[in-house]
Amino acid sequence: MKEHKFICDRNLGKLAKYLRLAGYYCLWDNNLSKTKIVNLAKKKRLIILTRNKTFFNRNDKSKKIKIKSDNVLMQLTELKGFIFFDEKKLFSRCSKCNSVLKKNTEESETFCLKCRKKYWFGSHARELKEKFKLRLR
């Protein structure tokens, strides 16, 4: 099964963060223009996620998915069929910069080599895991 990679427009920063936490490659930068998003999507074979109807309908030969909801958990549900719950991938990417996380063998945490952010599997992560299970199964 092909794993989809995404790029979110500026209105979907929270969705980008959740996709990363679910283990999916997802670019997002609040400063990217629509033209830059399209160019990156074509170059890196990314699916554009947008809530903007005009941008979605733009004839630029890029692959796009129109997100309808403004609730991040409902947005995940809208992507069912493109993304799946995979416990092995969960919490494998940095929510801040999209890099793959490295496990710290001495402690029960992971960290990002690029931006130095640390992660640990606490109550918040357990709650998110359950939300992902409910939305993506």
- Residues 93-102: what's their mean pLDDT? 97
Does any domain span residue 1? no
List the structure tokens of 67: 């997100």
Is residue 27 within 8 Å of 16, Cβ to Cβ?
Answer: yes
Q: What's the total number of domains in the chain? A: 1
Is residue 91 within 8 Å of 110, Cβ to Cβ?
Answer: yes
pLDDT, tens digit, 9 for 90 and up, residues 11-63: 999 999 999 999 999 999 999 999 999 999 999 999 999 999 999 999 999 99
Angle at 34 between CA 31 and CA 36, to 5 degrees: 75
Angle at 98 between CA 93 and CA 103, to 5 degrees: 30
3-state secondary structure of 54: helix
Nearest Cα to 98, choosing from 36, 5, 33?
5
Residue 1: its pLDDT value, please? 59
Report the C-alpha dihedral over residues 47, 131, 73, 30, rounded to 10 degrees. -60
Lowest mean pLDDT among 8-12, 30-34, 103-107: 103-107
pLDDT, tens digit, 9 for 90 and up, residues 54-97: 999 999 999 999 999 999 999 999 999 899 999 999 999 999 99
- Confidence tier at 127 by pLDDT (50, 70, 90): very high
Domain that holds residue 79: 6-136
Question: Radius of gyration (Cα) for the chain, nearest Å?
Answer: 15
